Amino acid sequence: MNYTKEQILAYCNEFSKSTLMETLKIEYIDAGEDFLTAKMPVNSSVHQPMGLLHGGASVALAESVGSAASHFFINAKEQEVRGIEISANHLKSIREGVVFGTARIIHKGRSLHLWEIKITDEAGNLISLCKLTNIVLEKKKAE
């Protein structure tokens, strides 16, 4: 990676405007050579009917952070990233507070990136464990 932590976070937070990430109040807060972390508040806007964090909101956080992280391993002028598979194991419930999604690269190939995303609460308890596969595609040339 040829970006500073500050550049990565600024870029991720900027491209999240007017998207699902903004709707869910996902904010990118930390980055390093092999990881990217974002946080999301847990409140009624991301609850399922029983007042717990919705599994779909957890998966949205996981895919957001894992897909964003792949952007820093591609040539963005010529390539783009698409998530092609995501799986999640929801291990613990949470009603309120903040959750953190940290994506760590497992496999970085030319055309596939495999990420493990751990979603934890403020105390570091594992809430969900996710796996995301991204495909790297060549951008279509304008005709």
- Whole-angstrom CA distances from 91 to 51, 72, 105 are 16, 29, 21
For residues 133 and 116, what is the distance between their CA atoms, to the nearest angstrom?
9
Assess whether 63 carries a catalytic annotation: yes
Query: How far, in Å, CA of 16 to CA of 24, rounded?
Result: 10
Write down the catalytic residue from 27, 63, 78, 116. 63
Residue ranges of the alpha helices (H) in 50-120? 55-70
Q: How far apart are CA 48 and CA 120, in angstroms?
A: 18
Q: Just list the catalytic residues.
A: 63
